[in-house]
Each structure stands twice: as structure tokens, then as C-alpha cells.
């Protein structure tokens, strides 16, 4: 699926040696930066405030970029009208975040390579505490696209997840998500829940909620860093 975005990354004479070391070379001379695609955790079904969530995304991304010198992060949402994407874009521009290492992308996280031309090696899932398929949103989409292989591999690693934590699952090569989209790992993340209809609702306690969301992103990015290092 090496389409436009990958072409941007062609090796040229001006690419510094350091940069070359950070990226894996491809047979056709283009380079690929190991990439994590992630949805905005907790901001749809879990009803977390978008202003607060976008601040936390920006802080967490900046922190990752300053600590880890390889890898690329992509925040994904389904619609061009996404409120969270526009908030994050504006704040990233204001903070001069490196546009080569942090992008926003509109598309389905389960079809980034085949439909979006964007190869993402690792994708994050906004999971539920039981790590179960279904329930709507990005969780249902990822489990559906990955097939039973993801359910089995998840069960081998963990039974449940605490809010603010994540677990990385190597995706078996039999999974359609591996074969069609070149996804090698799914990282399940559990964010804070502000929806009274869902388990462990924080009842508008944003002091706790923000702490949990920060922990969720740092756990996610630490897991991604361990995969690529």
C-alpha cells in the first residue's frame, strides 16, 4: 500500500545519517518510519470533555517526541468534521509540533494502509475493561477487522485492563489486519469513563479523569516505544 504518504519519505541526499538510522530502509529506496495510529481515547462513548482531552493529547505527544527519537504518531478519526481532530490540529500548530512525526488523519483505523495509503505498524484500541469485542466504536471495528486471532492473542496476555493502562498484543500473521493492513501490534488502552451508562463512571470528576487519561496515553506511548526500540 505504499502510496503518496510513503513517497514523501523517499531517501534523498539531504536526509541526515541520524534520520536514516531511525527509519528502516525499503527495497525500492523509499523509507518507512515505524508508526502508531491511535484514536482519541475516551472522547466518544466515554464522553470525556474534548478541550481537556486535546490538551492531554498535545502534552503526551510532545513528551513522547522529546523522549523518543524514532517513531511517528498519527491521531485518527472517522470524519472530516471531527471536533477532536480540529482542536488537536490547532493546538499542535500553535505549539510547533514536528509535522513529520505527528500527523492527524481522517479515515477508518482498520483500513489505513489499503484505503488511506498510510502504513501504520501499530494501532491503538480504545478498549473496555473486559477486553471484549463489540460495544461499538473503534473497539468493535478493530476486533471485527482483526478476526478471532486478536481475541485469542489478547486472552493469552490479559483478562482485564485498569483505567489508565494499556497492553500490547502482537498480532498473529493469520489476522486479516496483519495481511491486508500490515499491522503487527494492537495496543488496547482503557481511558477514563464519564458516561453513567458504562462501568466505572467518574461522575464528572475531571481531576481524576485527567490523571487517568494522561496515564492512558503515557502507557500507550511507552508500549509503542518498547515495540520499536
**E strand or H helix at 35:** strand 35-39
Tell me how far apart the 2 most distant CA atoms of the chain are, in Å.
56
- By CB under 6 A, tell whether 138 contacts ligand AR6: yes
CB neighbour list of residue 159: distance below 8 Å, 6 or more residues apart: 130, 131
Closer to ligand AR6 by CB, 29 or 136: give it: 136
Q: How far is the CB of 200 from ligand AR6 (least distance, A)?
A: 10
Cβ-based nearer residue to ligand AR6, 84 or 228: 84
Q: Which residue's CB is nearer to ligand AR6, number 11 or number 140?
A: 140
Give the contact letters, 47-76, x = binds to ligand AR6 (CB under 6 A), - = no. -----------------------------x
- Using the minimum distance from each CB to ligand AR6, give the nearer residue, 109 or 120: 109
Q: By CB under 6 A, is residue 122 in contact with ligand AR6?
A: no
Q: State whether the Cα torsion 42-43-47-52 is positive or negative.
A: positive
| Cβ-count burial 144-155 (b if 16+ within 10 Å, e if not) | ebbbebbeebbe
- Cα three-residue angle 66-67-68, rounded to 5 degrees: 105
Question: What is the DSSP code string of 93-113?
Answer: HHTT--TTTEEEEES-TTSTT
Provide the CB-side half-sphere exposure for 101 (13 A, CA).
Answer: 18
Q: What share of the chain is helix, strand, coil (3-state, %, to 5)?
A: 40, 15, 45
Is 136 near ligand AR6 (CB under 6 A)?
yes
> Pattern of binders to ligand AR6 over 151-190, x per CB under 6 A?
----------------------------------------
In this chain, which stretch among 24-32, 61-69, 130-138, 166-174 interacts with ligand AR6, using CB under 6 A?
130-138
Stretch that binds ligand AR6, among 2-10, 15-23, 114-122, 128-136 (CB under 6 A): 128-136
Residues found near ligand AR6 in the complex (CB under 6 A): 39-46, 76-78, 84, 108-110, 126, 128, 135-139, 141, 191, 198
Amino acid at each position: 500500500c505504499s502510496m503518496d504518504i510513503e513517497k514523501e519519505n523517499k531517501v534523498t541526499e539531504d536526509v541526515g545519517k541520524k534520520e536514516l538510522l531511525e527509519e528502516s530502509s525499503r527495497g525500492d529506496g523509499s523509507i518507512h518510519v515505524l508508526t502508531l495510529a491511535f484514536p482519541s481515547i475516551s472522547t466518544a462513548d466515554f464522553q470525556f470533555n474534548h478541550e481537556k482531552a486535546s490538551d492531554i493529547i498535545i502534552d503526551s505527544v510532545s513528551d513522547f517526541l522529546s523522549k523518543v527519537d524514532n517513531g511517528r504518531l498519527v491521531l485518527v478519526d472517522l470524519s472530516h468534521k471531527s471536533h477532536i481532530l480540529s482542536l488537536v490540529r490547532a493546538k499542535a500548530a500553535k505549539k510547533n509540533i514536528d509535522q513529520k512525526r505527528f500527523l492527524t488523519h481522517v479515515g477508518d483505523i482498520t483500513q489505513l494502509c489499503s484505503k488511506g495509503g498510510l502504513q501504520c505498524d501499530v494501532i491503538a484500541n480504545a478498549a473496555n475493561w473486559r477486553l471484549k469485542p463489540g460495544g461499538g466504536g473503534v473497539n468493535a471495528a478493530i476486533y471485527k477487522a482483526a478476526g478471532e486471532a486478536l481475541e485469542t492473542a489478547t486472552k493469552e496476555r490479559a483478562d482485564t485492563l485498569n483505567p489508565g493502562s494499556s497492553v500490547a498484543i502482537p498480532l498473529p500473521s493469520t489476522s486479516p489486519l496483519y495481511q491486508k493492513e500490515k499491522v503487527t501490534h494492537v495496543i488496547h488502552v482503557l481511558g477514563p469513563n464519564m458516561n453513567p451508562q458504562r462501568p466505572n463512571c467518574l461522575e464528572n470528576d475531571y481531576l481524576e479523569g485527567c490523571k487517568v487519561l494522561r496515564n492512558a496515553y503515557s502507557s500507550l506511548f511507552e508500549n509503542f516505544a518498547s515495540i520499536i526500540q
